[in-house]
A and B are shown apart, each in its own frame.
Chain A
């Protein structure tokens, strides 16, 4: 795991790209990896500009819209028809979604 610390410019390596690609289940070619190193570096250095500002007096932003407590009441409404929910499933069986066997 890595963290981006304030004021420290982070170098993006091939390992970083491979690590992130693995977490996102992406298979990248060597050319793509090279491209993403440059892209990511650009993104991070762009965001790094923020570190030039003094934010010590500013509370962290958890949400961009200043609204709290958006709730619904605890009421049951009809669910969707099963067939409709399964309509777009690439694979199904006995009313279930079907995926290749997984064991964690």
Chain B
């Protein structure tokens, strides 16, 4: 039987505020254990949390960027559960009145765009980190992350494959980076994904029973966890079993998930309004203010790259798929007067080098202006495209501008006729067979001879001039 996979996501994103959500401790990552804590974030008796205004602004930004309606009135609630990562024995979150609701994000999938619904976005606090000691009888706790502000983004069950889920997370991450509210570093846990998944026979209307996989922290593990869990559920159903609603832990190393079901009954969080915190009112004026502070979002930017810079749809999509890459492109494009050539360099050699080095666009070690200048060098005929690739490699290694590299390495195009004629003569006398072939009318042989001459000049020969001189020299021989 053919099955359909139904996926909904819950994405937790750490906001990049300087201080925590309810106290003035730093949110810096790392740091010695338990040095970024105070009586408030560890829930000592008698303390009073006060909401960080920036958290509301950032969450509203996320809501607006994800096309949500922003609640004029919202409140915070206590979610009660006992687990030592949470010293208060409750997490402050939002229950029935979240800040943002009913939005959507469009993703690119095979065969066009697809709209993924956003159920809600709410604010809450992060928990501490548990570590098991060597003898495995105790658990050690570092509360530095406790109270770091989070938004939780809950989607509708609109995704139908691991690829769609991946595309959604990539789009979401891109948007959040554009609006600059989180660094979204999955490996550091600042963007974590829970996957809700069920399967149903194709054509069936009702959803099947779903399971939840928690805290997936890389795109790769999201894809693998989804594929594995879908397969598991289908196998259970095919063999006559039933799916149990449960939380499962994904083991990325072993590539399998485990049931996390404990003896206890299902969680009953007993939410109630947080009495220490006042309701949040986002009036029209404040909402408009935040809206005006939003930068251009990926979709708008993509369209502008097509209409403004005349880039093909393909180039524009890839460039705007990462804010850092798009910024880099734009900074170079405005300085070069040749946006398409800049785009070609970025999508070609720059991306290749980044890939080889395992680097991201934000790690490019030279300013965008250098790329603009490199393009100019090619446009002015100072260096050839082949040499430009070489210069680019060096720009990744050394802190030098392209002109300096060209000069130091002696890479300028050789347009000196005398010098080139010498090269041409040498190539002709060394390649009698090809000269013969050329005379017999083989065009390929001409290309080969050009290649040899280029090699001789280490790629520096002015290609037009070289072609002309070689042709002339061969004609002479013909006579």
- Residue numbers of A with Cβ under 8 A of B are 1, 19, 22-23, 25, 62-65, 67-77, 79-80, 82, 85-86, 91, 93-102, 104
Q: How many residues belonging to B are interface residues under a CB distance threshold of 8 Å?
A: 55
Q: Is the CB of A101 within 8 A of B53?
A: no
A101 — nearest CB in chain B belongs to which residue? B139
A30 to chain B, nearest CB (A): 21
User: How many contacts between A and B, using CB within 8 angstroms?
Assistant: 127
Q: DSSP majority for the B interface?
A: loop
Chain B residues, CB < 8 A from A71: 50-53, 56
Q: Is the CB of A96 within 8 A of B35?
A: no
Chain A residues, CB < 8 A from B281: 68-69
Chain B residues, CB < 8 A from A93: 133, 138, 140
Q: DSSP majority for the A interface?
A: loop
Q: Is the CB of B131 within 8 A of A101?
A: no
- Give me the 3 closest cross-chain CB pairs, A-B, nearest first: A96-B140, A77-B24, A71-B53
Q: Known contacts A68-B278, A74-B53, A101-B137; decide if A96 and B34 are in contact (CB<8 Å).
A: yes
- B79 is an interface residue with CB less than 8 A from chain A: no
Q: Which one of B36-44, B166-174, B325-333, B404-412 is at the interface?
A: B36-44
Q: Is the CB of A68 within 8 A of B280?
A: yes
Q: Is the CB of A62 within 8 A of B139?
A: no
Q: Is the CB of A101 within 8 A of B273?
A: no
- Residue numbers of B with Cβ under 8 A of A are 17-19, 24-26, 32-39, 42, 50-56, 73, 75, 80, 82-84, 97, 130-133, 136-143, 260, 262, 264-266, 268, 270, 273, 275, 277-281
Q: Is the CB of A98 within 8 A of B138?
A: yes
Q: Is the CB of A75 within 8 A of B18?
A: yes
Most chain-A Cβ atoms within 10 A of its Cβ — which of B25, B53, B142, B278?
A: B278
Chain B residues, CB < 8 A from A70: 50-51, 277-278
Can you list 30 A-B contacts (CB < 8 A)?
A1-B266, A23-B80, A62-B97, A62-B273, A62-B279, A67-B278, A71-B50, A72-B51, A73-B52, A74-B17, A74-B53, A74-B54, A76-B18, A79-B37, A79-B38, A80-B38, A82-B35, A85-B34, A93-B133, A93-B138, A95-B34, A96-B140, A98-B138, A98-B139, A99-B84, A101-B132, A101-B137, A101-B138, A102-B130, A104-B83
